[in-house]
Each structure stands twice: as structure tokens, then as C-alpha cells.
Amino acid sequence: MKRIGFAEVMLCLGLIFIYLPMVILVIYSFNASRLVTVWGGWSTHWYAGLWDNTQLMSAVFRSLTIAFYTAISSVFLGTLAAFVLTRIPRFRGRTMFGGLVTAPLVMPEVITGLSLLLLFVAMAQMIGWPAERGMTTIWIAHTSFCASYVAVVVSSRLRELDLSIEEAAMDLGARPWKVFVLITIPMIAPSLMAGAMMSFALSLDDLVLASFVSGPGSTTLPMEIFSAVRLGVKPEINAVASLILLAVSLFTFFAWFFTARAEKRRVHAMRQAMEETTGKAQAQVA
Amino acid sequence: MSAQPGLIKRMLDGRRLVIGIPFVWLFLFFLLPFFIVLKISFSEAAVAIPPYTDIFTWANDQLTVVLNLGNYLFLTEDELYLYAYLGSLKIAFISTLLCLVIGYPMAYAIARSGRQAQTVLLLLIMMPTWTAILIRVYAWMGLLSSSGLINQFLMGIGVISSPLRMLNTDFAVYVGIVYSYLPFMILPLFANLVKHDNSLLEAASDLGASRFTSFWRITVPLSKNGIIAGCMLVFIPAVGEFVIPELLGGPETLMIGRVLWQEFFSNRDWPIASALAVIMLLILIVPIILFNKNQAKELEGKA
């Protein structure tokens, strides 16, 4: 009973609404005219000019570095948090723990940014660290809020898992840490990957937190773009924006492709193993 | 969830460590900072580094705590702040409603599509959330400007004769917020709708309910948790939104995130910025608790 209803029409319109502005942005980044709204023929010279913009390039490099470390640390922290939430049902302060994990998802960024900055200033006064704000403080800020996203993604996966496999390994005498590393981690690997990508992208994207907790000389890419964009639309920014869109789409697509393939293989291998064991059991009965 | 006694007992060794690491991190870098904001909101702005006075002083073996309520009084005196709070709440509320109205049918359509199509559609919805929000907002600056494509198009087909002022208005802010936050509405709604049992709808139609009645009386109530999660994911961050009103809004678009930013970066008045943050948090505390409760249910699989 497949039919095209109101919902399907809305879905199509919604997707057009989401993607059309981005497509137009990319097309106009190839506009030869300096007047951003007047079409002056195809050209790539806004892209060529980007390489010579050393200030922009160092901001790109800085942002990528922070995003890389954020992805690693937030997957570590988020996975631990997800594990606690799904596998340890009772401990003192559990409600608070749950709140601490989920609240960063919705907390307005200006509040988180301001409060972290004030924390860093207070810490610098009291213990002398961080002496100056920069990439480390941005990394801490990003890790704290990305870990929450990872925790949500990973915990939904952990909940689906069949506990009996972990139980079986334990019964066979494996230490908890060994079970976690050898059994649990490989089973939740796709969600770890998804969490890492999400953190990388969120960190690369963040303007508000970085603006609050960065120091002199540690301008990130979004801060660079923001200060340029504030004054209006510029062809160079169209080119940077298009490159970021391209990078993110490719990255997302490949990550999705590989995790989907890995998942398919895993399901296939499991089914095969099941069939083999039932086959053997039937043979024995016969 | 049901506890697995054997598994849990053996986890006890590393348990403290496993709980401790994320707990300490989040406590130190998420919860503790709020108390510092609260503290500084009671101090006075000063020309110093950092630019505020200390509220605790220690002299003659006496700890003196001076709470300066001046910042809060100042906020009530100047109507600008009141209007900024009200403006933020209004814009966030209307944007949330718009997201729900647009997002619900979209999530519903994805939940009803085939498995293969579902993955692709979800990816299409999710991809923008991983792309810089700044860039997506920036894309609208070009579209909405008075010489932008939308005005060119409308003038081209003869609907209007002179360009409409769309950029730097509240209208542009609504477009920007709905555009940026729509995926955050769709994803939790989809996660909820996809779990629904079709047999309930079949039963309803067997009993003579129209498609609309069964949708309204069965599907919508069942998706309550998804609606709450989606609305909170849009409403709460939208109240404090800074980038969208700054880039798309006009000078008359008063939103509290923008005012806080100006107090902090332009006026360097940290105590006032802190007081603004404290009041914003007080306003948002109820929705945040609602969201956390809802999310806790989801995380533990009780939903």
C-alpha cells in the first residue's frame, strides 16, 4: 500500500529546503564576478587565492588539530559515560551523572562558553594553570560537549547488544577489562566511529565556545570566517565554505559506506555461524 | 534495564575508575563553572585583570562576603534586557513550532519508507548537522539580501517591483533557526516513530477510524517522548542563539545570547554578562530538567 501522501511531499520539500541553499552557495563560489550576486561566468580564481592566504591556512590547520584531539578524547570519555549509564544501574549520584551527560546537548553555547572561560580565569588565579588560553582550553571545551553526543550514540548501541556474549566471556574467566576491549569494543566499533566523526565535525564547526575560551593568536577557522562574514558576503568565503561542505560530505559518505559494509559483514558472519552450529546440532540428532 | 548480577559484580573492581573519569571531567568542566558564573554575577565590574572585584575578602581573621546585587538591579532597570529575554523566548518558541510542523511529516515519511531508503534519507538529514552551522547561515545571507537570488527571482517573475528587505529582519532569523535546527527535530521524532507498532493502526482502521483520526489519536500521543525531545533540542539552544541573530537579524532583533555576547566582548562587563547567563539558566532550568528526564528514559531504554 505504497502511496505518495502529504508526508512524502513534505519530506521532498524539506530536503530541497535543506540542500538548495548549499547547492547555490557552491555554484556561486565559481562566480568570476566580485559582485557576489551577479553572475559573471565560471572561474576558480577564488579557490586559487586561498592557498596564499596564510592567516586562513593557519586557522584551518589549528582547527583540524583541535578537532582531531577532540575526536579522540571525547570518544574515550563519551564511551565511558555510555558504559556507566547502560551497565551500572545503581550508584550514588547516578541521577546527577545522567544529568551531567545529557545537559551539554541543549545548554546554550553562550552560557557554556562564558562559564568555562570564567573557570579557566579562576583556575589561572588559583593554581596558575592554564597560564594562557589557546588550543588546550578550546580542546577541553570541545571535549566536554562532544562527549555527550558520543555518549548518546554509543549508549543506544550498547543497549542493543546481547549481554549474553559478554556474560559468556566472563564465565570463561576473562577479566572485565579484557571483555570490554576484546568483545564489547569490536561490537560497538561502528558507533565509536560515528561518535568520533560527529565530534570532529562539531569541533570544526564551533564558533561560540572557541571565541570565549581562545586566547590571542589562537584564532580557529570558524572565528576567521565569522569575522569576515560579519561584514557581508564575500567570494573568498564562498570558496572556503564550499570546500568545507565538500570535505564534510565526502567524509560523511565514506564513513557511512564503510560502517554500513562492516555492519553487513558482521551480520552475515553471525548468521553463517548460527546456521553452521544449528546444522551441526541437527546432524548430531540425526 | 535488568541487571546482570554476574557481570556487574565482576565489574566492581574497575567500577570506581569507570564512573570516576567521566564524572570528574563533567563536574570540573561543566557543573563547577556555573557556580563561578553565579559568584561573579554578584561581583562588581572593575578596571583590572580579570575585570571584576572579588566577593570574598579575608582581613583580620574575618571572612567578609560582599554580595553585590547591583547587576541584577541594573538588569531590571533597563528595559532592553527584559525585551531581549522576551524576544528570545518568542523567537525560540515560534521557531520550535515551525520545526515541529515541518519536521513531523518528514520524520513520519522517513519512518514509513523502506529500510534501504531509510538509511539514505537519514544520512541526508544528518549530514547538514555535521556541516558548519556558520556556513549554512552564511548561505542564507546571500539568498536573502536585497540583491540576492530570492529577490532577483521574485522581481524576475514580476511579483514585486522593488526588492523586499528580508536580510537583517526577524523573518531572516526565523528562517535561519528553522533551517539550522530542523534536523535536531527530525532525528528524535524518527527514532520514536520507527518503533511504532503498525497493528494498532490496522486495528483502528478495522474499527472504522479514518486515517486522520487514527493518526491524531494513536500516532501522535504515542510519539510524545519524541516530540518532547525534539522540541527541547530546538527550543533550549535557540533561546541562547548568537550566530543566527547576529548574522541574519537586524539591529532591532533583540535576543539574549547576542546581548550577553556584546556585554562580554564589547563592553567587557563580565559581571553583567554573568548575571544575564544566570537569569537565562533560571528561565531554561525547567525545560532542561524536562529534557534530561526524557533523555534519561531513552538512555536507559525505558521509553
Instruction: Count the helix, strand and coil residues of chain B and give each as a percent rounded to the nearest 5.
Output: 75, 5, 25
Asked if A85 lies within 8 A of B27 by C-beta distance, the reply is no
More confident residue, B14 or A180: A180
Q: How far apart are CA A203 and CA A219, in angstroms?
A: 13
CB contact under 8 A, B109 and A7: yes
Structure letter (DSSP) for residue A42 = B
Question: B3 in a domain, yes or no?
Answer: no
Domain that holds residue B95: 72-300
Please name the residues between 111 and 170 in chain A that touch chain B, using a CB distance below 8 Å: 111-112, 114-116, 118-119, 121-122, 125, 140-141, 143-144, 147, 151-152, 155-156, 159, 163, 166-167, 170
Spell out which residues of chain A touch residue B21, defining contact as CB-CB under 8 Å.
77, 80
Own/partner contacts of A214-217, CB < 8 Å, gap of 24 or more, are A214/A133, A214/A134, A214/A137, A214/A138, A215/A132, A215/A133, A215/A134, A215/A137, A217/A134
User: Do the domain assignments include residue B4?
Assistant: no
Q: B131-142, pLDDT tens digit by residue?
A: 777 888 888 888
Residue A235 reports pLDDT greater than 90: no
% chain B with pLDDT above 70: 94
The C-alpha atoms of residue B71 and residue B243 are separated, in whole angstroms, by 25
Q: Which residues contact B289 (CB under 8 A, 6 or more apart)?
A: none
Listed range (A80-89, A170-179, B28-37) with the worst mean pLDDT: A170-179
Please give the angle made by the CA atoms of B97, B100 and B102, to the nearest 5 degrees: 110
**Contact assessment for residue B130 and residue A197, using Cβ atoms and an 8 Å cutoff:** yes
Within a domain: B101: yes
- How close is the nearest chain A Cα to the Cα of B290, in Å? 10
User: Taking the CB of residue B272, how many other CB atoms lie within 10 A of it?
Assistant: 24
Q: What is the mean pLDDT of residues A209-214?
A: 93
User: Given a cut of 60, is residue A232 above it in pLDDT?
Assistant: yes
Confidence of residue B303 (pLDDT cuts 50, 70, 90): very low
Tell me, yes or no, whether B106 lies in a domain: yes
Report the pLDDT value the prediction gives residue A128, as an integer from 0 to 100.
80
Cross-chain Cβ contact B11/A176 below 8 Å: yes
pLDDT, tens digit (0-9, with 9 covering 90-100), for A137-172:
999 999 998 999 999 889 888 888 878 888 888 888
Quickly state the pLDDT bin for A75 (edges 50, 70, 90). Answer: very high
Q: Do A114 and B140 touch (CB under 8 A)?
A: no
Asked if pLDDT for residue B99 goes beyond 90, the answer is yes
B239 lies within 8 A of chain A by CB: yes
Give yes or no for residue A34 having a pLDDT over 80: no
Angle at B209 between CA B208 and CA B213, to 5 degrees: 170
- Judging contacts by C-beta atoms under 8 Å, the chain B residues touching residue A100 are 23, 26-27, 30-31
Q: Is the pLDDT of residue B184 over 70?
A: yes
Enter the DSSP assignment of B29. I
Q: Does residue B147 belong to any structural domain of this protein?
A: yes
A40 touches chain B (CB under 8 A): no
- How confident is the prediction for chain A on average, in pLDDT? 85
Decide if B25 is inside a domain. no
Interchain pair B145, A245: CB under 8 A: no
Q: What is the mean pLDDT of residues B194-220?
A: 84
Q: Is A14 an 8 Å CB contact of chain B?
A: yes
> Phi first, then psi: what are they for B64, rounded to 5°?
-105, 130
Q: Which of residues 235-264 of A touch B (CB under 8 A)?
A: 237-238, 241, 244-245, 248-249, 252-253, 256, 260
pLDDT, residue B292, reads 86
Residue A106 has pLDDT above 80, yes or no: yes
Interface confidence, given as ipTM, is: 0.85
Give yes or no for B33 touching A (CB within 8 A): yes
Q: What average pLDDT does range B90-108 have in this prediction?
A: 95
A265–chain B nearest CA distance, Å: 16
In this prediction, residue B5 has a pLDDT band, given cuts at 50, 70 and 90, of: low
**What angle separates helix A54-87 from helix A94-106, to the nearest 10 degrees?**
150
Q: Is residue B294 part of a domain?
A: yes
Q: Do B147 and A7 touch (CB under 8 A)?
A: no
Instruction: Map out the domains of chain A with their CATH numbers.
Output: 55-232 (1.10.3720.10)
Residue type present at position A252: T
Q: Which CATH number covers residue B198?
A: 1.10.3720.10
Task: Count how many domains chain B has.
Answer: 1
Q: For position A286, what pLDDT does the model report? A: 64
Buried b (16+ CB within 10 A) or exposed e, A95-125: eebbbbbbbbbbbbbbbbbbbbbbbbbbbbe
Highest-confidence segment of B10-24, B263-277, B285-299: B263-277
Question: Are A115 and B233 an interchain contact pair (Cβ–Cβ within 8 Å)?
Answer: no
Question: How many other CB atoms are found less than 10 A from the CB of residue A88?
Answer: 17
Cβ within 8 Å, pair B6-A230 = no
Q: What is the DSSP letter of A65?
A: H
Answer whether B152 touches A (CB < 8 Å): yes
Which has the closest alpha carbon to B141: B178, B160, B166? B166
